[in-house]
Structure 1
Amino acid sequence: MKSGIVPFPLCAVTLFTLALTQHCGAIRWLALSETQEHINRTQQCKTLPGLVNSQSQLCRTHLELMQVVVQAAREVKKTCQKTFADMRWNCSSIDAPKYLPDLERGTRESAFVHALSAAAISHTIARACSNGDLRLCTCGPVPGDALEPGHRWGGCADNLHYGLSMGSKFSDAAMKMKKKTGLHPNKLMHLHNSEVGRQALKDALVMKCKCHGVSGSCSIRTCWRGLQDLKEIALDLKTKYLSAIRVKHHPTGTRKQLVPKDIDVRPVRENELVYLQSSPDFCTKNEKMGSIGTQDR
Structure 2
Amino acid sequence: MGTSALLLLILSALTVQGARATDILGLRLPAEPVLTPNTVCLTLSGLSRHQLAMCRRQPYVAASAVQGVQIAIHECQHQLRHHRWNCSTLENKNKLPYSSPVLTRGYRESAFSYALAAAGVVHAVASACSLGKLQVCGCDERLKGDEEALQRKLQHLHKLQLQALHHGKPVGNAVLAFPEAAPGQWEWGGCSHDLDFAARFSQDFLDSHETNRDIHSIAHLHNNRVGRKVLLDQKRRKCKCHGPSGSCQLKTCWQVSPDFRSVGDTLREKFQSALFLPLHNGHGGIGGLRVPRDTQLVYFERSPTFCEQEDDIGSPGTRGRLCERTEQGFAGCSSMCCGRGHNVVREMRVERCNCKFHWCCYVVCQECRRTEWLSVCK
TM-score (norm 2): 0.61
- The amino acid across from 1:139 in the alignment is C
Q: Corresponding residue for 2:107? A: 107
* CA shift in 2, pair 1:103/1:256, >3 Å: closer
Asked if 1:96 is matched to 2:126, the reply is no
Quick one: distance in 2 between partners of 1:50 and 1:174?
A: 10
For residues 139 and 258 of structure 1, do their structure 2 counterparts lie closer, same or farther at Cα, with a shift above 3 Å needed? farther
Question: Is the contact made by 1:102 and 1:279 (CA closer than 8 Å) also made in structure 2?
Answer: no
Structure 1 pair 149–199 and aligned structure 2 pair: CA distance change class (3 A): closer
Instruction: Compare CA radii of gyration and give the structure with the larger one.
Output: 2
Q: Report how far residue 148 of structure 1 moved.
A: 5.7
- Corresponding residue for residue 119 of structure 1: 119
Encode CA deviations 1:217-266: one digit per residue, 9 max, x unaligned.
23432111111122211111111001000013569xxx976467xxx4x6
Per the alignment, residue 23 of structure 1 pairs with none
The C-alpha deviation readout for 1:119-173, integer Å capped at 9, x for no partner, is 11111111111111111111112178xx966422111111001101112111111
More strand by share: 2
State the SS of the aligned residue for 2:228.
helix
How many residue pairs match? The answer is 257
In the alignment, the residues of structure 2 paired with residue 33 and residue 115 of structure 1 have an alpha-carbon distance, to the nearest angstrom, of 21
Could you report, residue by residue, the CA deviation over 1:4-50 in whole angstroms, capped at 9, with x for unpaired residues? Answer: xx35x8xxxxxxxxxxxxxxxxxxxx996564333723344345212
DSSP-derived class of the 1:221 partner: strand
SS at match of 1:89: coil
SS across alignment from 1:199: helix
User: Of 204, 221, 245, which residue of structure 2 is paired with 1:215?
Assistant: 245
Contact 2:144/2:190, CA 8 A, preserved across alignment: no
Residues 1:142 and 2:143 aligned together: yes
How far is 1:80 from its partner? 1.3
Structure 1 stretches lacking a partner, 5+ long: 1-5, 10-29
Partner of 2:37: 42
Native 8 Å contact 1:32 1:73 kept in 2: no
3-state DSSP of counterpart to 1:186: helix
Map 1:1-297 → 2, pairs under 5 A: 6=1, 33=7, 35-36=9-10, 37-38=13-14, 40-44=35-39, 45-97=41-93, 100-140=100-140, 141-142=142-143, 150-175=185-210, 177=211, 183-249=213-279, 258=286, 264=289, 267-297=291-321
- Normalised by the length of structure 1, the TM-score is 0.76
CA separation in 2, counterparts of 1:250 and 1:154? 53
Amino acid at match of 1:294: T
The DSSP-based 3-state class of the residue aligned with 1:207 is strand
- For residue 16 of structure 1, what is the aligned residue in structure 2? none
Give the 3-state SS of the residue equivalent to 2:224 in structure 1: helix
Q: Give SS of 2:313's match.
A: coil
CA distance in 1, matches of 2:59, 2:232: 26
C-alpha separation between the residues in 2 aligned to 1:77 and 1:203? 21
Give the secondary structure class of the aligned counterpart of 2:106.
coil
Gaps of 5+ in 2: 15-33, 146-181, 322-378
Change (3 A) 1:212 1:250: farther
Q: For residues 32 and 121 of structure 1, do their structure 2 counterparts lie closer, same or farther at Cα, with a shift above 3 Å needed?
A: farther
Distance across 2 between alignment mates of 1:59 and 1:207: 31
